[in-house]
Amino acid sequence: MSVVRVQVPASTANMGPGFDCLGMALQLYNSVEMTATDAGLFIDVQGEGSGGIPRDESNIVYLAAMRVFKQVGYKCGGLKIKLHNNIPVSKGLGSSTAAIVGGIIAANIISGQQLTQREMLNMACAMEGHPDNVAAAVFGGIAVAVPVDGEIKHIKIEPPKKMKAVVAIPEFNLPTKISREALPQQVSFNDASFNLARLALLVAALGQGDMALLGVSMEDRLHQPYRSNLIPGMKKVIAAARLAGARGVSLSGAGPTLAAFTDDNYEHIARVMKDTFKQNGVMARTMILDPSPVGARALEIK
């Protein structure tokens, strides 16, 4: 029986204007341990979300593994899956991506490493629906990722030195589906051009480590204004974090977590974000997270 353990980083997607195409891996990891057995399915979940994560065939790690086995023609008698989760669930920090990517990589190792990293990336994006979290989780660093005819085009950018993400994670969950339903079918030409100018500036600034430009370049008009109705105090927390010294602040993925990107004043910004959420009736916890330079990787294969 082979046992495989894969570690996958959390990720913060969009980073303001980069809706569905920009993400950064964070040093907060889930691990997926998978063992091929003779019969049946056994799933154990420890850590974040352990109470609510299904332990049957609807489990997303299991579904991802089955997709790999089907594609490569591997006959699986049974599977033991042990999940140790550090990434908060349904908060906009890439927990479902971590589950999908972890499941795919572990299953690929168990079935004889028949898929390339790129094939696994494409499969994970097909399951997740968009590549921003996925490319960051697979490759680490900052990911610019764009689907073109079913293939993901990806460039990795090294995060600016000293840059950390201060994340304020509200107590309530915001399912991605609900957060995407809040988005309009159409946007104005002005808003589209506002975003693409800022995204170009943001990617260039990140690539050159120019933190001073993050404030203006992380502004967004395509998704955050609509999603702010779902997150009490969001605008105030963003403004307060900026005042406290954050270089740029964005909604993390589909939310409800807010991420402040900064190279200084980490604890102060965290406190201000938590307090401002509280003043708006939202209990939140904070974390100060370094970017993860590495993406998902197998830690043990026995």
Closest CB to ligand HSE among 103 and 253?
Answer: 253
Residues 6+ apart with CB under 8 A from 127: 63, 64, 67, 100
How far apart are alpha carbons 299 and 75 in whole angstroms? 24
Nearest one of 86, 106, 34 to 43, comparing CA atoms = 34
- Identify which of residues 122 and 133 has a Cβ nearer to ligand HSE in the complex: 133
If DSSP codes are grouped into helix, strand and coil, which group holds residue 130? coil
Shortest distance, position 180 Cβ to ligand HSE, whole Å: 5
Minimum CB separation from ligand HSE for residue 129, in Å?
8
Distance CA 147, CA 119 (A): 13
Q: State the minimum distance, in angstroms, from the CB of residue 169 to ligand HSE.
A: 15
Nearest to 57 by CA among 40, 70, 69, 74: 40
Nearer to ligand HSE, 125 or 282 (CB): 125
In degrees, rounded to 5, the angle at the alpha carbon of residue 101 between the alpha carbons of residues 151 and 119 is: 30
Neighbours of 60 (CB within 10 A): 20
Using alpha carbons, select from 300, 22, 290, 299 the residue that is nearest to residue 153.
22
d(CA 41, CA 57): 8
Closer residue to ligand HSE, CB minimum distance, 108 or 133: 133
CB of 170 to ligand HSE, least distance (A): 16
Residues that bind ligand HSE (CB under 6 A): 13-14, 19-20, 130, 132-133, 176, 179-180, 223, 253-254
Cis (ω within 30 of 0) for the bond into 256?
yes
Select 14 or 30, whichever has its Cβ closest to ligand HSE: 14
Distance CA 72, CA 237 (A): 47
Q: How far is the CB of 140 from ligand HSE (least distance, A)?
A: 18
Shortest Å distance, C-beta 125 to ligand HSE: 11
Quote the least distance from Cβ 14 to ligand HSE, whole Å.
5
DSSP letter at 92 equals S
Rounded Cα distance between 106 and 13, Å, is 24
For ligand HSE, give the closer residue by CB, 36 or 131.
Answer: 131
Closer to ligand HSE by CB, 59 or 176: give it.
Answer: 176
**133 three-class SS:** helix
